Amino acid sequence: LYWNTAEDKLKIDVKVNFSSKVKGAHSDPYVDLEEDPEDFVPEVITKRLLWRVAQAQYDPLGLLCAYTIKFKLLMSNLCTENLKVQWDDALSPDVRKRFMAIMDDMKDLREISFPRSLKPPESRGRWRSDPMLLIFGDGSTEASCALAYIRWEMEDGTVLCRLVAGKTRVAPKVKITVPR
């Protein structure tokens, strides 16, 4: 996440590095996600590599939670279904295919930006009512999420909403039923 001062927006900066660290520094450079994932993803995918890529995404506000939950669900499936797979064992071609699909989706993240300020610049104190904080939550047997938005209603009747934060969680190992 970085601040583009020219547009006053927060832009998403996704970095991926498949190399291991030596004395705290990566031995290879970061990968450019504009390329096809087949060009830079190693042939052998391990649980360690998958976890390294998933946890390398810095997202304190949860703006990337729709993407990072895919990594978490993949890791959860690996940990519950394949109990005998060790951290440095090669994963199945099906897992590699799912990992490649997630990496392909991550290319789109560079196009996403968020306004830095939650208050719209055109408001300048001219809104019809106080801003409202809207919180949405949803869940399933696999994961749950919550998103917080702020809603501004302007004097001319237009409504502006801004994403404040998001949070996702993988469902616990003990399965529970979803209330209707």
In one-letter notation, the amino acid at residue 72 is K
Q: What is the largest CA-CA distance in the chain?
A: 62
Rounded distance, CA 32 to CA 98, Å?
A: 20
Q: What is the mean pLDDT of the chain?
A: 79
Provide the pLDDT for residue 89.
87
User: Residue 10's pLDDT is what?
Assistant: 79
The Cα 72–Cα 80 span in angstroms is 12
Using CA atoms in the order 61, 14, 76, 90, what is the torsion angle rounded to 10 degrees? -160
Residue type, 60: P
Tell me the pLDDT band of 81, cut-offs 50, 70 and 90: confident
Token pair recorded at residue 113: 């930006």
pTM for this model (two decimals): 0.75
pLDDT at residue 157 in the model: 83
